[in-house]
Amino acid sequence: MNRRSFLEMVGLAGGSAAVYQMMNVMGLAAPSTYTQPSLGTGGQGKKVLILGGGLAGMVSAYELQKAGYEVQILEYRNIAGGRCWTIRPGDEYTELGGDKQVCRFDKGQYLNPGPWRVPHNHQAYQHYAREFGVKLEVFPMINHNAYIHRESGTKQRQGQLMIDMQGHVSELLAKAVNQKALDQAVSTEDKGKLLEALKGWGLLDKNYAYSKSLATSFYRGYDRDPGARLEPGTPSTPIALDAILKEDLWTDLNTGLLYEFHSTIFEPVGGMDALAKAFENRVGRFITYRARVTGIKQDASGVTATYEDASGATKTATGDYCICTIPLSILSQIPMTGVEPKLVDAIKKVPYGPSFKAGVQYKRRFWEQDEAIYGGVTYTDQTMALMSYPANNYNSKGKGVVLGAYMFGPDAVKFTGMTPEARLKEVVRQNTVIHPQAEKEFDNGISVGWHRVPWALGCYGLYSDSTREQYYPTLSALHDRFILAGEHISYWNAWQEGALLAGVTAVDMIHQAASKA
C-alpha cells in the first residue's frame, strides 16, 4: 500500500483532521515555514553565483541583490522559470530524442505541464504573488459534478458517491449502536446523541436506513430536478454499498481531505508561469541565458562554474558563494571538484519521479454544455488517471483545453516512451471512454513526458524514508561556499512552495556565513 492510499483510508475513517495529523506524524505535512527574509545590508563586495533560473534561483537572486550582493544566474534555457512553465500557442518544444512539438492551441488557451495548482497554505508563494501583483483565480480541485470512472463502465458523479458512502456507513454504525455493539465505548446518553447525529449526517429515515427518497435526493441530486407548481422532482436511486466497495469507488473521494488540497486552491490568471515572469522582470538583468553548466569547482576563495554558451564556446563564472538549483537528475552528471565526497554521493542517491501530462484542445466545451461540469477533476482507473477541466472562461462558446491525462510511475514512463502522436491518440481514446463527445470534438493537443525534458530529466526529487533520513541532511547543508536549493531541498517536493522556501533559506545561510567571514 502506498502513502496516498493509506492517507485516503485514514481520511475515510477520521476525516481531514485525522489525515492532517497523520501527515504531520509521517513528516509529509509540515506547514509552510516561510518568513520574509530580512538581510539588511552587508552584501557589498561579495558575489553569489546561482546555477539555475527557476523559482529557487530567482528568489535567491531577488533577495540577495536587495542586500547589496552581486549576483549572476546561469540558466540553461532561453527563458527563466524552470518547471514553472506554461505552453501557449506557437510555442515549440523539443524533447530528448529529437521529437518536436508545436503548440497549436487557439489564442488564450494554454497548458501548464509542470505545477498547475497553488494551495492556500503555501505562504511563500502567496507572499511573492502579493508583492508582485500576480493575480490569482480559484482552482476548483473538488467538483461534485465531475466523475469517478472505472474501466468496467461505471461512471458516477463524485457528489452522489460521497453522499451515498456517508449514508451507508451511517446506517451500518446506527445498526451497531442499536444492537448494543458499542455499549462499552458509548454511554447511554451519548448513544442517543450519536443516533441523532447519524440520522442527520447520514440522511437516514425513521428506521435508520439510507434509502431512495426526496430527502436523500436533496443532497445527492434528482433523476429529474424539481420545478414549479406541482413538480417536486423525481428521487434518484442511491448507489449500493457493495457496488461502491467492489470497484473501490471510494478511493477517489478523499482527495479533497488531503491537507494540500483544502480549499481554497488557486492558479495564476493566464498561466502558471506568471510568478516566474514576475521574478524574471526583476532579476532578468542578472541572468546569463543559454548557459549549460559543464563543471563546478570549489576552493578556498570561492566557486567557479564552467559553462557552454549559445555559440558553443566554453566560459567560466565565479562567485564567493554558490547556490545551485540544478535538479539532482542533471547535477549528478556534472563533474564537481572541491566538494565533499559525501555531498557528491548524496546527489546521486535521489531519483526523479516520472510524470506525464497531455493538454487537449476540444472544439467546444462539451463538459460544461452537455454535463454541467465547471472546473474540477474527474478520476479514472484508466492509465490517463484523471481529467482536469479549465477553471476559467466558463460558458464561453469557443474552444477549451483540458488536462486530458496526468499520471505518475510506470504509466508515465510508458507514455513518455511513445511518440507525441501516439500519446495524443491514446489520451483522446481514453477521454472518449468517459466523454463520448471527445472523439468528435477533438482539435489538437500537446504532451510533456518529464523524463524527456532536457533541463529536468524527471518531475521532482523522489525520496524514500531511508534516503530522506540518510542523505537529506547532507543535501540541505551549507558545504563551505556551496549550497543546494530547489524543491528537492524541502518537504514540499514537486511544489513551487518547496523551491521558494529552499531558495530563501539558502540565502539566509549564505548571508550568515558571509557575515561571519
pLDDT at 10: 54
What are the chain's domains? Answer: 31-82+274-349+464-516 (3.50.50.60), 92-145+353-452 (3.90.660.10), 158-246 (1.20.1440.240)
**Is 493 strand, coil or helix?**
coil
pLDDT at 12: 53
Alpha helices (runs of H) in 250-306, residue ranges in sequence order: 274-283
What is the spatial distance between Cα 154 and Cα 246, in angstroms, rounded to a whole number? 11
Q: Tens digits of per-residue pLDDT, 99-109?
A: 999 999 999 99
Q: Which residue has the higher pLDDT, 190 or 70?
A: 70
Q: Are strands 386-388 and 377-380 parallel, antiparallel or unpaired?
A: antiparallel
Q: Quote the crossing angle between the two packed helices 496-516 and 55-66, to the nearest 10°.
A: 40
pLDDT at 24: 46
Averaged pLDDT for residues 12-38: 54
Q: Tens digits of per-residue pLDDT, 231-290?
A: 888 999 998 888 888 888 888 887 777 777 777 899 999 999 999 999 999 999 999 999
Q: Tens digits of per-residue pLDDT, 326-363?
A: 999 999 999 999 999 999 999 999 999 999 999 999 99
- pLDDT greater than 60 at residue 28: no
Question: For 32-38, which contacts have Cβ atoms below 8 Å and span 24 or more sequence positions?
Answer: 32/121, 32/122, 32/123, 32/124, 32/492, 32/497, 32/501, 33/501, 34/123, 34/124, 34/127, 34/497, 34/500, 34/501, 34/504, 36/127, 37/63, 37/504, 37/507, 37/508
- pLDDT greater than 80 at residue 505: yes
Strand order of the β-sheet with 118-119 is 118-119, 265-268, 136-138
pLDDT at 299: 97
pLDDT at 11: 54
- pLDDT greater than 50 at residue 455: yes
Provide the residue count of the chain. 517
**Is 452 strand, coil or helix?**
helix
Place of cell 465531475: 146
Ordered DSSP codes for 177-245: HHTTTTTTTS-HHHHHHHHHHHHHHTT--TTS---SSHHHHHHH-EEE---SSS---EEPPPPPHHHHH
List residues bridging with 406 in a β-sheet.
357
pLDDT over 70, % of the chain: 92
Confidence of residue 6 (pLDDT cuts 50, 70, 90): low
- pLDDT greater than 70 at residue 8: no
pLDDT at 16: 45
Query: Among residues 312, 320, 241, which one has the least CA distance to residue 71?
Result: 320
Q: With contact defined as beta carbons under 8 Å apart, do 276 and 55 qualify?
A: yes
What is the spatial distance between Cα 239 and Cα 259, in angstroms, rounded to a whole number? 28
pTM of the model: 0.86
Query: Among residues 140, 154, 160, which one has the least CA distance to residue 389?
Result: 140
pLDDT at 253: 82
- pLDDT greater than 50 at residue 69: yes
What is the spatial distance between Cα 165 and Cα 241, in angstroms, rounded to a whole number? 7
What is the spatial distance between Cα 170 and Cα 204, in angstroms, rounded to a whole number? 8
pLDDT over 90, % of the chain: 73
Place of cell 547543508: 477
Q: Are strands 302-308 and 377-380 parallel, antiparallel or unpaired?
A: unpaired
Q: Tens digits of per-residue pLDDT, 400-434?
A: 999 999 999 999 999 999 999 999 999 999 999 99
- pLDDT greater than 50 at residue 32: yes
Specify whether the backbone of 289 is left (phi greater than 0), alpha (psi in -120 to 50) or beta: beta
**Is 146 strand, coil or helix?**
coil
* Region of poorest pLDDT, from 174-188, 308-322, 402-416: 174-188
3-class SS shares of the chain: helix, strand, coil, % to 5: 40, 20, 40
- pLDDT greater than 70 at residue 65: yes
* Region of poorest pLDDT, from 20-34, 89-103, 460-474, 498-512: 20-34
**Residue 47 φ then ψ, to 5°:** -120, 140
Which amino acid, residue 418? M
What is the spatial distance between Cα 211 and Cα 197, in angstroms, rounded to a whole number? 17
Q: With contact defined as beta carbons under 8 Å apart, do 252 and 144 qualify?
A: no
Q: Quote the crossing angle between the two packed helices 496-516 and 123-132, to the nearest 10°.
A: 90
Q: Three cell numbers at 452?
A: 524527456
Confidence of residue 2 (pLDDT cuts 50, 70, 90): low
Count of CB atoms situated within 10 Å of the CB of 271: 17
What rounded mean pLDDT belongs to the chain?
A: 91
Which amino acid, residue 406? Y
Averaged pLDDT for residues 370-380: 96
